[in-house]
Amino acid sequence: MLDTYLNELDAALPSLLGEGGAPVAALTRHRLLDKPHGDLPRWHDAVAALPPGPAPCRLDRDRVTIGEPGAVDPEALDAALRGLMPWRKGPFEFFGTHIDTEWRSDWKWQRVAPHLSDLRGRRVLDVGCGSGYHGWRMAGAGAAQVLGIDPTVLFLMQYLAVKRFTPETPFWFAPLRMEELPAGLAAFDTVFSMGVLYHRRSPLDHLLELRDALRPGGELVLETLVVEGDERAVLMPEGRYAAMRNVFFLPSTEHLAVWLRRCGFDRVRCVDECVTTVDEQRATDWMRFQSLPDFLDPDDPTRSREGYPAPRRAVMIARKA
């Protein structure tokens, strides 16, 4: 299975990244074959235990839907899919089995999608793509090519669980971080970075990397944690934020707009801003660890358990000037 995936990625990368495809392919092979994650054999076996593909898939629904209910043994299917837990981004439905993921990622897509330039025919990069849920939705919206990148190998295996059934869909996944892509690509019509910026010690460097991946006039879709305030407002937590160790900068939307303009974007606008609720992020039978309800102050849900404002997210859209 991994050999097939790697060969298909090798074939796709030149059209996505040009000469930049070769180092991406080499790093992917190194990460999976030379220094594999210790759980990779178990995850590989879980994907291999799924029914053979292809199967009818619907990528334009809130639940990315694979196959028809009742077409396969539900107990064997459930066991294989549970071998890929925890499922954090979704939801998905495999042959009638609903994977109720930690995040209702469909809600985020509903907030973002109305404000996008038409994705039909566009070349798209999804940075920090997680399980690939949003990448499948981008493909379902008509994108000509989608590349998702995320360093978490479990997310790659969850992506392969879907790709098994829709091999012709032009969505590929590379287990890389944004800074590991070749610099100055200028290859994509639309770049998404959702839930990444606040994990970066240098947010401006991340914005510059996103800009350099876009063609001139390309569109950036940026979703990140923010705080309320004017153009001078930015929070840097002293320690953890909502139990997360690696959270660095939470700007206001007005301050974030300044960052974007300084980094070479124009037509900057905030298209959505809302508090993340415990209905959107929570533990489920498919993700049994602690989740947002455990990270808020039990006496004041408007605050994190460290005393900071509770998670609030904004979606910014901008054009590479």
Q: What is the pLDDT of residues 107-121, one digit of tens each?
A: 999 999 999 999 999
Q: How far apart are CA 44 and CA 27, in angstroms?
A: 19
* pLDDT of res. 301: 96
Segment 258-278 mean pLDDT: 98
Question: Confidence band (pLDDT; 50, 70, 90) for 1?
Answer: confident
Domains annotated for the chain, with CATH where assigned, are 2-320 (3.40.50.150)
Question: Confidence band (pLDDT; 50, 70, 90) for 61?
Answer: very high
Q: What is the pLDDT of residues 127-153, one digit of tens each?
A: 999 999 999 999 999 999 999 999 999
CB within 8 Å of 95: residues ≥ 6 apart: 51, 55, 66, 67, 68, 69, 70, 71, 72, 74, 77
HEC string for the chain: CHHHHHHHHHHHHHHHHHHHHHHHHHHHHHHHHHCCCCCHHHHHHHHHCCCCCCCCEECCCCCEEECCCCCCCHHHHHHHHHCCCCCCEECEEECCEEECCCEEHHHHHHHHHHHCCCCCCCEEEEECCCCCHHHHHHHHCCCCEEEEECCCHHHHHHHHHHHCCCCCCCEEEECCCHHHCCCCCCCEEEEEEECCHHHCCCHHHHHHHHHHHEEEEEEEEEEEECCCCCCCCEECCCCCECCECCCCCEECHHHHHHHHHHCCEEEEEEEEEEECCCCCECCECCECCCCHHHHEECCEEEEECCCCECCEEEEEEEEEC
pTM higher than 0.85: yes
Q: Radius of gyration of the chain from Cα atoms?
A: 19
Query: In one letter, which amino acid is 147?
Result: L
pLDDT at 200 over 90: yes
Segment 55-84 mean pLDDT: 97
Q: What is the pLDDT of residues 16-46, one digit of tens each?
A: 999 999 999 999 999 999 989 999 999 999 9
* pLDDT of res. 229: 97
Q: What is the pLDDT of residues 74-109, one digit of tens each?
A: 999 999 999 999 999 999 999 999 999 999 999 999
Q: What is the pLDDT of residues 203-236, one digit of tens each?
A: 999 999 999 999 999 999 999 999 999 999 999 9
